[in-house]
Amino acid sequence: MTEFANKNPKDIIKLLKAKYEYSEKDFGDDNWIFEKKTVKEVIQGLIENLDQKINAALVELENSKKSLNHSLNKGLNKQEKIIAIYKNEKTLWEETLQKYLNEIPKENHLLNFILKKEAELQITGSDVYKPVLMSRKTYSLVRCDNSYNPSFETCVQFIFSLKLNIVESTEFLRLAGRAFSNSNYHQIIKFYIENSNYDFFSLNETLVAEEIKPIGCI
């Protein structure tokens, strides 16, 4: 792939996007790589191809070491240089792949879930966060910051506000990297959800009665 020689990952990505993202190109022996349509798959194909070349070259080098005497080290050095070139190429493509993946906006599945339910219920903003004692700041973070990981308590607030059933609630928690446990605290919350009781103040009263800290800005 000589056209990528002496290019940095950023430039390589531009070339790949421009030439291979949506069309097949003829690149001789490496044509099989470019039958795939996405930049990610193209780069992964190149890395896999280099892995195969490195492994084959290492086997050949090992066999040569067994069969050659010490006076024929020049051939061994040439093989080692070829392996080093392959490894350098692989490192470049791995860096390129990582850079490309970092540039792709990460889809926020949790936010998509929230937006869909808000649309179904025809509510948004204060209609969502006020009834469950959620701060506006927390609501905004969930809505606007892809890197923000809501706490279990914040998830419960959304669950009650959006009136999610137990299946939807479990999925919501999964998307947030959370899950129900067998603790008394979690079982109380599950009981309310399973019985479609979304009275948030009643939930907090029950938690307090069980000597558990209530949820929200109280």
Burial class, 196, CB count within 10 angstroms (exposed 0-12 / middle 13-18 / buried 19+): exposed
pLDDT at 16: 66
In a domain? residue 218: no
From first to last of the 218 residues of the chain, give the pLDDT tens digit.
555 555 666 676 666 666 555 433 333 444 444 444 566 777 777 788 888 888 888 888 777 776 655 545 656 677 788 888 888 888 888 888 787 777 665 667 888 899 999 999 999 889 999 999 999 999 998 988 777 889 999 999 999 999 999 999 999 999 888 999 999 999 999 999 999 999 999 999 999 999 999 999 75
pLDDT at 179: 92
Residue 92 structural domain? 2-103
Give the residue among 194, 197, 193, 152 at the shortest CA–CA distance from 175: 152
In a domain? residue 20: yes
**One domain for residues 90 and 130:** no
**One domain for residues 7 and 99:** yes
Query: What span, in angstroms and rounded, lies between the C-alpha atoms of 90 and 195?
Result: 56
Which domain-ending residue is among 59, 88, 103? 103
pLDDT at 109: 84
Which domain-ending residue is among 74, 103, 132? 103
Q: Residue type for 207, please? A: L
Give the residue among 79, 87, 81 at the shortest CA–CA distance from 57: 79
